[in-house]
Amino acid sequence: MKWRVVIGTAIGAVLFAGYSVLKHRDDSIAVSTDIPQQPGYYLKDATLIKTDVNSGLAAWRLHAASITRNPNDDSVSLEQVNLIYTGTTATAWLLTSQYGYIPSDSHTVNFSGAVHVEPHGDNPTMPMTLQTDALSIDTQSNLATAPGKVTIQMNQQRLTAVGLKADLQRQTVRLLTQVHGEFRNQ
């Protein structure tokens, strides 16, 4: 009979303790169920290849130390970028930059941070280099633009300007303002 009293007292104590906890709990303490934002995808040391719809050939090959897709707006961020851009021309171009950004539903790739462009391959038809802080390439229209200072080096000739528009299909470059040239005898 003593064991019934002990068990009854224990059950009563547990019920009283549970009731006290529920009655005196702090409703201001909220448990967070929010999960931190996760990237849509995150790639390290990755290569992306875009092929031409008609020919099936690589239009561009992009390698980056990291590629991150933002699930909120479907944009893509790139770090330590190397891009081999062929487009629809015979000349391939190698572009390197610290960063890249592709807005969602866009055919434009924006590069920033020590952007360097030069012909890629064994026999470049245009031996030149281009340096700027920011450059955008519209992969649909094959147009490249740079809003800031641009330096173009061709052998001993050097051109500087502010702003650039380049038609990669026709292989023409238009320097926009403050154009200065330096030509040396070879």
pLDDT value of position 17:
59
Token digits for 19?
């009731």
Q: What is the pLDDT of residues 21-43, one digit of tens each?
A: 556 655 555 555 666 666 678 88
Is residue 6's pLDDT more than 70? Answer: no
Q: Give domain status of residue 65, yes or no.
A: yes
> 109-137 pLDDT, tens per residue?
999 999 999 888 776 666 789 999 999 99
In a domain, 42, yes or no: no
pLDDT for 64 beyond 60: yes
- For residue 120, the model assigns a pLDDT of 84
What is the structure's pLDDT at 112?
97
CA distance 130 to 152: 5
**What's the one-letter identity of residue 58?**
A
Give the range of the structural domain holding residue 65, as residue numbers without chain letter.
Answer: 52-146+163-173
At residue 31, the pLDDT reads 55
- The three-state DSSP-derived secondary structure of 89-125 is CCCEEEEEEEEEEECCCCCEEEEEEEEEEEEECCCCC
Average pLDDT (70-98) is: 87
The tens digit of pLDDT for each residue in 152-177 reads: 998 888 999 999 999 887 888 899 99
Quote the number of domains for the chain: 1
Task: Supply the CATH number for residue 134's domain.
Answer: 2.60.450.10
